[in-house]
Amino acid sequence: MTSEHANDRLTLPLAATPIVFLVALLACSVFLFGSDASYGPNQIALVLATCVAALVGYRTGLGWDAAQAGMVDGIGVGLGPTLILLAVGMLIGTWILGGTVPAMIYYGVQILDPRVFYAASAVLCAIVALSIGSSWTVAGTLGIGLMGIAGTFSLSPAITAGAIVSGAYFGDKMSPMSDTTNLAAASGGVDLFDHIRHMVWTTAPAFCLALVIFAFLGSGDAAEPAQIARLTDSLQQEFAIGPHLLLPLLLMLYLVYRRFPAYPAIVLSALAGGLVAIIFQPEQVLRLAGETPGGSVAAYGKGLWMALADGYQSESGNADLDALLSKGGMSSMLNTVWLILCALGFGGVLERTGVLNYWLEVALRGVRSTGSLVATTVATCFTTNVLAADQFISVALPGRMFRRAYIARGLSPLNLSRTLEDSATITSALIPWNTCGAYMSATLGVATASYAPFAFFNIACPLIAIAYGFLHFAQKPLESEDGRIAGKH
């Protein structure tokens, strides 16, 4: 039975049951386990809520095989991002072992002024994300280095992560090479570059507002120059620092810029980091492998393998440096993968049972004006991000559902495609179990709930979109094929 047929038999209590159940379990999880809720308890809540959703499907005539197929399809949507996440774990491990991340920290603290560090980080990430079209790549490369620099300056990791996420998503959203930008344009049935130009109305003021806030946050508690000098000295003692160590980063950015697929690009860059480690940091490779200097070829292979699997373990004797550099490896991402799989399974069942479509249709019933239409679109995209745990679903499903509603109100589909980006794309990084929120948290080493209040761009964008809707500002009218505004002669 398809989700459309099941949807005909859904009632309000049935459609609400799995959602209410999940919210209640997640609330209990946070109450009982606090910041450790994402390390198992939330996953249990998602699995149990998935079972409840399957029971709702059974009640409406959907068999177990169909419900299980929904779970598999939902998880299938996230397998590509999951592979990328695991590859980023490998990359972090070898880039620290090879000295790439230490070099980024070493040169970064000499270039970036701690007084404007947050704003500068957002701008830097925005520029790179705009050029390569990938917020994930920016977080997994520049983001790692910027988090290390922030640690060196004794700056807030939560605010730094918020600045990285803000800049990365600004650039991703405005880049013609971004997959979500292309998906939003396709969902609205509009030209890609018309879509990007129309997004400037909401995106530019949101990013400017974020930069102003980051600039005023200040860094009065930044580390003293002597403290920074001690840390950079420790870096030089543990690694042979030099600009050549940045070659893996340059390779990564070049491959993505040339539209090389993300997964093999990250794996190749991780291996490049391993090669740099063997050539320029042989002592660290052997130490990680538990071997003495002058070890065999097998010992070097073992050290590299360990960095790929379990990351790097710093033993410099400098507690601050050890905390900065002891991370990475594929294994460091397994908890996040666990969370993503459970969340996507739940979202897949909701879609197969028709619960998602049911609530999308309910949302449309409350539309009475342009402002309420935009606000409903934003709320629907955010809710879909919460329930389906994937930004692509959150762009595509509401895009299909709301297109006719925008046309019926005499609004160009460009307003829809822009709102999809202002909400579905942008808010995905603010939800802990969404693929994007989980990825950013795992990569930057900061809990989603900790950095989300400081992701000012991601918060401002949907609010500005809603305000524009109620003010009837920057709402492009629907035009007929001859270019005249529809309904006017």
DSSP labels, 451-488:
HGGG-HHHHHHHHHHHHHHHHT-S-PBPB-TTSSBTT-
Which residues are bridge partners to 312 per DSSP?
327
Task: Provide the pLDDT for residue 441.
Answer: 92
Q: Is the pTM above the cut of 0.85?
A: no
Sign of CA dihedral 327, 329, 330, 331: negative
Q: Of 447, 443, 381, 42, whose CA–CA distance to 455 is shortest?
A: 447
Task: Provide the pLDDT for residue 342.
Answer: 87
Intervals of the chain under pLDDT 50: 1-5, 481-489
Please give the distance of CA 20 from its chain centroid, rounded to a whole number: 26
pLDDT single digits (tens) 120-172: 999 989 988 886 778 888 898 889 889 988 888 888 999 999 999 999 999 98
Task: Provide the pLDDT for residue 484.
Answer: 44
Task: Provide the pLDDT for residue 482.
Answer: 37
Tokens of 438: 């989980």
Task: Provide the pLDDT for residue 481.
Answer: 41
Q: Of 226, 124, 200, whose CA–CA distance to 168 is shortest?
A: 124
* 190 SS3 class: coil
* Cβ within 8 Å of residue 49, ≥6 positions away: 18, 21, 22, 25, 346
Tokens of 234: 């420790």
In angstroms, the Cα distances linking 249 to 85, 95, 172, 242, 454 are 17, 9, 18, 13, 27
Exposed e or buried b per residue across 67-106, where buried means at least 16 C-beta atoms within 10 angstroms of its C-beta: beebbebbbebbeebbbbbbbbbbbbbbbbbbbbbbbbbb
Which residues are bridge partners to 411 per DSSP?
477
* DSSP character at residue 295: -
Which residues are bridge partners to 284 per DSSP?
none
Sign of CA dihedral 22, 27, 29, 35: positive
Look-up of token digits 């930069």: 211
Task: Provide the pLDDT for residue 300.
Answer: 92
